[in-house]
Amino acid sequence: MTQARIHLIYARARNGVIGRDNQLPWHLPEDMAFFKQKTAGGTVVMGRKTWDSLPSRFRPLPGRDNVVVTRQNGWQPSPASERVHVAADLPQALATAQGLGQPVWVIGGAQIYAQSLALADEVWVTEINQDFDGDAHAPVLDDRWQEVSREAQTSSNGLPFAFVCYQRRQAPKS
């Protein structure tokens, strides 16, 4: 069986900010709809702080298997759900996610993005064309990453942004 591909997805401000005080710094409904559509039917892998940041009515993220990474022994998701799996570290989380046989989406936060980039095939970045204050930052995509598509838009609240896809230039190790 071929391994499910690993994708990262995040929205970032022009200055690299992805979060502030464990929340998204902006309101961008078009991007939320995009995130939901992309990850639908897949497995989402996230750190425990990102799990905590999800609105309670969207926890676990519906229509997706959810894998949460935490070093805390005995941590349990609230609410309990068959579709939530707990892993002690990122490699274990990705192994669990790949075992489910669906596309794997790493959905944050900053610590988890930084650790998973080396293992990813594709990165979907919503690039917001404005700076925001924050305390969590996107990983840096160096020249091993190639932009393969870009779709620019302006949100209903006036923020210019683009949905951008990057792929790794050479095939990742198998």
Question: Which residues are at the interface with ligand FOL (CB under 6 A)?
Answer: 9-11, 24, 31-32, 35-36, 50, 53-55, 58, 61-62, 107-108, 126
- CB closer to ligand FOL out of 31 and 65: 31
End-to-end CA separation in angstroms for the chain: 12
For 55, half-sphere exposure in the C-beta direction (CA atoms, 13 angstrom radius) is 5
- CB closer to ligand FOL out of 19 and 173: 19
As measured in angstroms, the least distance from the Cβ of 170 to ligand FOL is 25
The string of DSSP codes covering 115-169 is: HHGGG-SEEEEEEESS----SEEPPP--TTEEEEEEEEEE-TTS-EEEEEEEEES
As measured in angstroms, the least distance from the Cβ of 173 to ligand FOL is 26
How far, rounded to the nearest angstrom, does the alpha carbon of residue 158 sit from its chain's CA centroid? 24
As measured in angstroms, the least distance from the Cβ of 174 to ligand FOL is 26
As measured in angstroms, the least distance from the Cβ of 1 to ligand FOL is 27
